[in-house]
């Protein structure tokens, strides 16, 4: 945390006894940044670059963040998606030194004791149990790569002091038997603990966090679907906490939809919106979209009536093929069954697109190539500027590439993709939302992170002017720190409006800027 490498000054070298240990020349952080990025670029694979950056993070955290700030666009895909996925899979292979906290099930009953030994002043905890790491399934203890990466983005984008962040891996076993039999695997070699035992362990964890750091916010990350929903509901009112896969994704997608609405010149209240893949992400997006439309004065019935959701068994219809509560919210009413199922079964994607002519098509199915030429051409025939958002990650699961969508729509479609994609101006990535949510929650001191905060964050992101590229849905990654500030302000305003938290005397904006840490060396010798 405090290291400066060759940038320790003469005075500091005197005071700290560093002469001889360091070469003579005193570097600036700018020199060091040039040196590190040159080495990084000489490495061949993204994974080697990831390991290099993690090493820098372990040895000189200030420089790590200075390099990141200067080369954000180039480095984000390395410290986070997609490279972090490989880092999780190969976590045990490259394990060198601990970072974050491993709370394993055999330590049940001793979590308070473990937390007591941790530093004071933790304000952001990001926790996973490693069961659903990106699209890569159960990675057990290797899942630690995700909270590490997310918290790095909290610091880079929102300016949260890295000394106040803590990645946590709740090691409740792994059902990935390959991992359990890998001699290098660093986690607890046991099948996953489930049910009441799991719940009791998580409960002990949450209570221990609340006691140890009462002001901390907790981000739930990459839990498997049923646990993700249940944990969020159980704890969201007990401490300021949110699930980025559910709420962060929904807010980011909502912001993309609102921004695309402006670009395409349509009114969502009057438009058909088709959702392909009605799982956790898809239903979360739909639920937030309905709330956002309600806030505009559209009735809940009308807002929900605009949505057409398609899953494995075709268009979702009440009392026909609905399996989850989330799907029930977006299913067509049972009275429409006759109309849709004339042939005996519910229409699939192409048939539904042909019949409905949606203005917006959102993909959260993880089905590679599902938005094929026929589907896109059909939309383009029916809409002047169709909005098409294949959000599934990684690229190998994306419903379409931006280049294909643009070609098949004669360049007219408004496109946003979940993964970086050639030809797409915008990656619809949660990094546009979650750092600002965390910053706003910390600055306001809110006791809850509410849906209204996410909607307001999405509105704020969608309303930003985009100067550099007329086809973009969001400003470029280089502006992420400013965007985190805008999102944080939206959160603070909602905390004031809905929870009665008074604004500081000099206003929220000043409080947000005051809170931010920046990667510059401190002076230790004067």
Q: Give the β-pairing of 314-315 and 307-311.
A: antiparallel
SS3 424: coil
- The verdict on whether 44 is a catalytic residue reads no
Element (H, E) at 499: helix 480-499
In whole angstroms, the minimum distance from the beta carbon of 276 to ligand NAD comes to: 6
Residue 8 CA to residue 83 CA, distance in Å, equals 32
In whole angstroms, the minimum distance from the beta carbon of 391 to ligand NAD comes to: 4
Strand partners, 168: 101, 127
Taking the least distance from each CB to ligand NAD, the nearer of 280 and 487 is: 280
Residue 497 CA to residue 52 CA, distance in Å, equals 45
Taking the least distance from each CB to ligand NAD, the nearer of 65 and 223 is: 223
Residue 162 CA to residue 265 CA, distance in Å, equals 42
Strand partners, 36: none
Which of 80, 185, 308, 432 is labelled catalytic?
80
Taking the least distance from each CB to ligand NAD, the nearer of 46 and 135 is: 135
SS3 241: strand
Number of H helices, E strands in the chain: 24, 11
- The verdict on whether 80 is a catalytic residue reads yes
Helices (H), 213-348: 225-235, 249-264, 280-295, 300-305, 325-330, 337-340
For 201-237, letters b (16+ CB in 10 Å) and e give bbebbbebbeebbeebbbbbbbbbbebbbebbeebbe
Taking the least distance from each CB to ligand NAD, the nearer of 266 and 428 is: 428
Element (H, E) at 361: strand 360-363
Taking the least distance from each CB to ligand NAD, the nearer of 63 and 307 is: 307
In whole angstroms, the minimum distance from the beta carbon of 283 to ligand NAD comes to: 8
In whole angstroms, the minimum distance from the beta carbon of 9 to ligand NAD comes to: 43
In whole angstroms, the minimum distance from the beta carbon of 327 to ligand NAD comes to: 8
Contacting positions for ligand NAD (CB under 6 A): 135, 225, 245, 249, 252, 276-282, 310-312, 364-367, 391-393, 397, 418, 428-430
Taking the least distance from each CB to ligand NAD, the nearer of 160 and 278 is: 278
Taking the least distance from each CB to ligand NAD, the nearer of 285 and 492 is: 285
**Residue 105: left if φ>0, alpha if ψ -120 to 50, beta else—which one?**
alpha
Taking the least distance from each CB to ligand NAD, the nearer of 245 and 477 is: 245
Element (H, E) at 35: helix 29-42
In whole angstroms, the minimum distance from the beta carbon of 249 to ligand NAD comes to: 4
List the strands of the sheet with 360-363, edge to edge: 314-315, 307-311, 273-276, 360-363, 387-390, 414-415
Residue nearest to ligand NAD as judged by C-beta position: 279
In whole angstroms, the minimum distance from the beta carbon of 366 to ligand NAD comes to: 4
Residue 279 CA neighbour count, 13 Å, CB half: 16
CA angle, corner 304, sides to 299 and 308, nearest 5? 150
Taking the least distance from each CB to ligand NAD, the nearer of 60 and 419 is: 419
SS3 25: coil
Nearest alpha carbon to residue 57 among 100, 24, 14: 100
> Which residues, including other chains, have CB under 8 Å from residue 83's CB and lie 6 or more apart?
46, 47, 49, 50, 77
Which of 4, 49, 65, 150 is labelled catalytic?
150
In whole angstroms, the minimum distance from the beta carbon of 59 to ligand NAD comes to: 31
In whole angstroms, the minimum distance from the beta carbon of 215 to ligand NAD comes to: 28
Other Cβ atoms less than 10 A from the Cβ of 320: the count is 18
Residue positions annotated with a catalytic role: 80, 150
């Amino acid at each position: 945390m405090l290291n400066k490498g060759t940038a320790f000054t003469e005075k500091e070298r005197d005071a700290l006894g560093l002469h001889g240990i360091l070469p003579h020349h005193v570097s600036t952080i700018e020199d060091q940044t040039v040196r590190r990025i040159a080495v990084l670029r000489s490495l061949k694979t993204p994974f080697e670059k990831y390991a290099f950056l993690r090493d820098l993070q372990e040895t000189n955290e200030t420089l790590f963040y200075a390099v990141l700030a200067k080369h954000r666009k180039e480095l984000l895909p390395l410290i986070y998606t997609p490279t972090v996925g490989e880092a999780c899979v190969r976590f045990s292979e490259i394990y060198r030194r601990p970072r974050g906290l491993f709370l394993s099930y055999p330590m049940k009953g001793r979590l308070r004791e473990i937390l007591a030994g941790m530093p004071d002043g933790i304000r952001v905890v990001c926790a996973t149990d490693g069961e659903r790491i990106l699209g890569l399934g159960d990675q057990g203890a290797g899942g630690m790569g995700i909270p590490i990466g997310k918290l790095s983005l909290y610091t880079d984008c929102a300016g949260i002091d890295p000394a106040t962040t803590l990645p946590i891996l709740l090691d409740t076993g792994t059902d990935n038997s390959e991992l359990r039999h890998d001699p290098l695997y660093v986690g607890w070699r046991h099948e996953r603990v489930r049910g009441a035992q799991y719940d009791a362990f998580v409960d002990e964890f949450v209570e221990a966090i609340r006691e140890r750091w009462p002001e901390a916010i907790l981000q739930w990350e990459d839990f498997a679907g049923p646990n993700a929903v249940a944990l969020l509901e159980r704890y969201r009112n007990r401490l300021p906490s949110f699930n980025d896969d559910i709420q962060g994704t929904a807010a980011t997608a909502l912001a993309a939809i609102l921004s695309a609405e402006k670009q395409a010149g349509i009114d969502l209240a009057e438009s058909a919106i088709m959702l392909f893949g009605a799982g956790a992400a898809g239903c979360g997006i739909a639920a937030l979209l309905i709330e956002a439309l309600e806030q505009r004065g559209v009735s809940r019935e009308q807002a929900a009536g605009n949505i057409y959701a398609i899953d494995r068994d075709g268009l979702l219809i009440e009392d026909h093929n609905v399996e989850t509560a989330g799907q029930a919210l977006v299913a067509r009413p049972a009275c429409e069954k006759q109309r849709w199922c004339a042939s005996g079964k519910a229409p699939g994607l192409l048939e539904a697109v042909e019949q409905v002519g949606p203005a917006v098509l959102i993909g959260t199915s993880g089905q590679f190539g599902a938005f094929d030429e026929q589907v896109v051409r059909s939309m383009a025939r029916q809409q002047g500027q169709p909005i098409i958002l294949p959000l599934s990650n990684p690229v190998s699961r994306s419903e379409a590439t931006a280049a294909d969508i643009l070609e098949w729509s004669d360049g007219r479609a408004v496109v946003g993709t979940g993964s970086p994609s050639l030809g797409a101006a915008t990656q619809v990535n949660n990094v546009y939302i979650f750092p600002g949510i965390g910053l706003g929650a910390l600055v306001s001191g809110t006791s809850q992170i509410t849906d209204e905060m996410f909607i307001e964050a999405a509105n704020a992101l969608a309303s930003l002017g985009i100067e550099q590229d007329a086809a973009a849905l969001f400003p470029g990654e280089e502006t992420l720190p400013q965007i985190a500030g805008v999102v944080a302000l939206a959160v603070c305003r909602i905390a004031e409006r809905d929870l009665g938290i008074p604004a500081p005397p000099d206003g929220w904006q000043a409080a947000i800027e005051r809170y931010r840490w920046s990667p510059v060396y401190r002076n230790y010798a004067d």
